Structure 1
Amino acid sequence: MMKDYKYTVADRFMQYVQVDTQSDPLSDSFPSTEKQKDLARILVSELLDMGISDAHMDEYGYVYATIPATTDKKVPVICLCSHMDTSSDSSGTGVKPIVHKAYTGADMILPDDTTQIIRAADHPYLKEKIGDDIITASGTTLLGADNKAGVAEIMDAAAFLMQHPDVKHGAIRILFTPDEEIGQGVKYVDMQKLGADFGYTMDGGELGSLEDETFSADAVKIVINGVSAHPGMAKGKLISAIKIASEIVDALPKDILSPETTEDRQGFIHPVRMHGVVETAEIDFIIRDFTTRELEAHEFYLRKVMDSVMSRHEGATATFKVTEQYRNMKEVLDQHPQVVAFAEEAIKRAGIEPLKMSIRGGTDGSRLSFMGLPCPNIFTGEMSFHSKHEYVSIQDMQKAVDTIVHLVQVWEERS
């Protein structure tokens, strides 16, 4: 069906990654950075140029748009969603995308920092991409394939569908979100305005992957209150909150329950930020597991560690606050098996073998699923997220576009 289509996904992607949309986990505003709206404005303009007349950005930086139905059937409204922001783990300023045409399998030395080398031995997936055209950054920034690959794929699929009204599908809602990387991506989504029945995030990795299960996630904040005193006269008086915080982190197990020592379905306790002064210090943790029961067990363990350390520091106090972030989308998706089944069928029609996977993380779809929009995650080709070694195959992105087009047709056919 698309063999003669001139894909725009790579050109769009190369443009989008040059727009700095890094989110800020320390910001109290929404979106956390105003610059995310720079990309939102570009996307709205392009959608309007396609003929999608209701495309707009709201006050929070969300982009909403509708591809009108081309069938008389009553078809559930499908939402296609990707996030515009990039991770704060590596700079997103001044991204210079580079295309490595017809990749040979050799190590890729990134020109702006030649110490940054994407080694084939460290990236097994690259062995499957020999002959593909690979896009990387230049060595001083991340690339932004997470998740601008998904954004570009939805945009190219939208362009195709608007150009081909003979392709039968129901109404399709497009949603681009800010602040996904800091866990706030759908905080202010207007679900009534969105008006979708089922959704798909385009935010997965390798070709063919389809993820219907995520971690469940909480955040924990420990605040330690010490006692300040002049260091020259501090004997028997000063109780350093900084040292107590360090003790708590050091008391965590070294060989289990951490991201660097776990895999597959193992959860973890991960300190992500610590700051303070002698009198007061804070530690921020993320807690992850596939079941809420195990999540609670990790939190109980962390509280015991805190209490044990605090028992050695009379006069100091601490608080322990848990904030729910998201829950495993599988709890919702199992109630709507057609949502995943139709995605599998679409991937097969694109000539790919589906790879059912679980995410050791979350997506906007995790929270959307519990907001009433069952929402699994489909591959985009993005790999080595959040790092200067991030890369994506152009051919993988094109296959993601194919998958979207097949997906909306499957929904029309089965309705």
Structure 2
Amino acid sequence: MKNLLPRFLEYVKVDTQSDERFNTTPSTKKQWDLAKKLVQHLHIIGMQEVSIDENAYIMATLPSNVDKEVPTIGFISHFDTTPDFTGRNVKPQVVKNYDGGSIVLNKEKNITLSPDYFKELTNYEGQTLITTDGTTLLGADDKAGIAEIMTAMEYLIQHPDIKHGTIRVAFTPDEEIGRGAHKFNVEKFGAQWAYTVDGSQLGELEYENFNAATATITFKGKSVHPGFAKHKLVNAIGLANEFLNLLPNNEKPEHTEDREGFFHVHHITGEIEHAEIALIIRDHDLEHFNARKALLTAISEKINKQFPESVQVIIKDQYYNMKEKILPNFHIVEIAEEAMKQLGITPIIKAIRGGTDGSQLSFMGLPCPNIFAGGHNFHGKYEYIPLESMEQATLTIVKICELTAQRF
């Protein structure tokens, strides 16, 4: 495990932000910088069949060391970081023997990571925390997962007494902009199932996620001098406001939790003759998900009755709840749960309030639940990760490999 921390620190210093504005894969050239480094590291630790394709999807193999038929399993993490907050010039700070109090991330800017606000910090007193310097994200999402997979494979290579079947690993681009699985070659990967190592706190094990869709609502108005506007002017901004007022006020991200779905408006632009709303739809329940989409259509029809052809709604499904594909293969969840228990980790089985590459991969024929990588407060300057959680994630990967060989 000695290489885990330096490996992680090396990875987070490479800027790999993805960008949805570009249609290339990867969406940003700088993702190649880490991708090429990861290929080198896979060779160095002794992995076989190391490959990287024209879209920067990396795959490698750890051959079986048992003389019986064992299912080929996989572990997957993404190397891009979110465009929501800067990932340039990351300067990770290592806080040893955390004392349970506030951590000054940036004295000059008075930025502090405090347990008064982030209460789960108190769970890690006495441990080693890796934090930001208060000016960037950290990138534990998901470079922690990559470092853990890499270290777990290295550990298995160095400990041939641990018996396992064939293990496949993959590192992918553009997960943060929803494209991580779009060009993933499931057939080439060749695993019967896999695990994304992309969860948060110690013990997370997830096999449910949101059904997800985007909606673009455009509004067409008519501009007339306001002094002569009665019964003539149609203000697209006003129509957009009316549309939003007809959405359920309590079904927003800031008012929901657990398995409660929502509508989330993330962009709005407008002038008198044209306005546009961009929102996302999320719900774990497929029936409720479809009802949400139907509601947007019904609202547009209501407004169009008063102002004909003034509203257009375009809805695009993004991904679906992987639970549908995991339940028929539930032994893959049971193996991960047992691995954690044998390591003294309490499994936290819950639904993801978001998406993961695993949801798309599951519908592509690769059942793929999600296990913890150990980080907290992703996508911002308060992101941190306990080293001990990373070590436990690494051991969980090793144990999953071992239990799979024992079970089959």
TM-score, normalisation: structure 1: 0.92
Say if 1:113 and 1:297 are closer, same or farther in 2 by CA, change over 3 A: farther
1:292 to 247, 271, 286: 286
What's the secondary structure of 2:194's corresponding residue? Answer: strand
1:376 aligns with 2:369: yes
CA distance in 2 between counterparts of 1:215 and 1:81 reads 20
What's the secondary structure of 1:223's corresponding residue? Answer: strand
The letter for the 1-side match of 2:365 is: G
CA distance in 2 between counterparts of 1:112 and 1:15 reads 24
The 5-angstrom pairing of residues 118-267 of structure 1 reads 118-227=113-222, 239-254=234-249, 256-267=250-261
2:99 to 96, 104, 129: 104
Farther off after superposition, 397-406 or 345-354 = 345-354
Given that 2:66 and 2:164 are in contact with CA atoms closer than 8 Å, whether structure 1 keeps it comes out as yes
The 5-angstrom pairing of residues 378-397 of structure 1 reads 378-397=371-390
Aligned to 1:82: 77
The 5-angstrom pairing of residues 331-346 of structure 1 reads 331-346=324-339
Farther off after superposition, 242-251 or 278-287 = 242-251
User: How far 1:75 moved relative to its partner?
Assistant: 0.9
1:32 aligns with 2:27: yes
User: How far 1:351 moved relative to its partner?
Assistant: 2.1
The letter for the 2-side match of 1:401 is: T
CA distance in 2 between counterparts of 1:205 and 1:366 reads 16
CA distance in 2 between counterparts of 1:36 and 1:110 reads 26
User: How far 1:275 moved relative to its partner?
Assistant: 3.4
Tell me the alpha carbon deviations over residues 209-239 of structure 1, each in whole angstroms, 9 at most, x when there is no partner: 1112111111112122334679999887664
User: How far 1:57 moved relative to its partner?
Assistant: 1.7
1:23 aligns with 2:18: yes
Farther off after superposition, 35-44 or 347-356 = 347-356
Tell me the alpha carbon deviations over residues 262-313 of structure 1, each in whole angstroms, 9 at most, x when there is no partner: 011110001122335554333221111111111111122233333444555x
CA distance in 2 between counterparts of 1:153 and 1:380 reads 8
Aligned to 2:300: 306
User: How far 1:169 moved relative to its partner?
Assistant: 0.8
The letter for the 1-side match of 2:381 is: K
Farther off after superposition, 273-282 or 359-368 = 273-282
Farther off after superposition, 8-17 or 402-411 = 8-17
What's the secondary structure of 1:339's corresponding residue? Answer: helix
The letter for the 2-side match of 1:176 is: F
The letter for the 2-side match of 1:162 is: I
Aligned to 1:413: 406
Aligned to 1:3: none
Given that 1:113 and 1:138 are in contact with CA atoms closer than 8 Å, whether structure 2 keeps it comes out as no
Gaps of 5+ in 2: none
Farther off after superposition, 232-241 or 316-325 = 232-241
Given that 2:17 and 2:83 are in contact with CA atoms closer than 8 Å, whether structure 1 keeps it comes out as yes
Farther off after superposition, 194-203 or 211-220 = 211-220
Given that 2:236 and 2:272 are in contact with CA atoms closer than 8 Å, whether structure 1 keeps it comes out as yes
Say if 1:380 and 1:317 are closer, same or farther in 2 by CA, change over 3 A: same
CA distance in 1 between counterparts of 2:16 and 2:278 reads 24
User: How far 1:189 moved relative to its partner?
Assistant: 0.7
CA distance in 2 between counterparts of 1:39 and 1:412 reads 32
Tell me the alpha carbon deviations over residues 74-118 of structure 1, each in whole angstroms, 9 at most, x when there is no partner: 111111001111112111111110011111111122116634322
The letter for the 1-side match of 2:121 is: L
Gaps of 5+ in 1: 1-5
CA distance in 2 between counterparts of 1:228 and 1:162 reads 70
Given that 2:48 and 2:62 are in contact with CA atoms closer than 8 Å, whether structure 1 keeps it comes out as no
Given that 2:48 and 2:63 are in contact with CA atoms closer than 8 Å, whether structure 1 keeps it comes out as no
The letter for the 2-side match of 1:391 is: Y
CA distance in 1 between counterparts of 2:71 and 2:379 reads 35
2:40 to 40, 45, 50: 45
What's the secondary structure of 1:103's corresponding residue? Answer: coil
Root mean square deviation of aligned Cα: 2.1
Tell me the alpha carbon deviations over residues 120-140 of structure 1, each in whole angstroms, 9 at most, x when there is no partner: 022222111101111111111
Say how many residue pairs are matched. Answer: 408
The letter for the 2-side match of 1:390 is: E
Tell me the alpha carbon deviations over residues 373-410 of structure 1, each in whole angstroms, 9 at most, x when there is no partner: 11111111111111211110000000000000011000
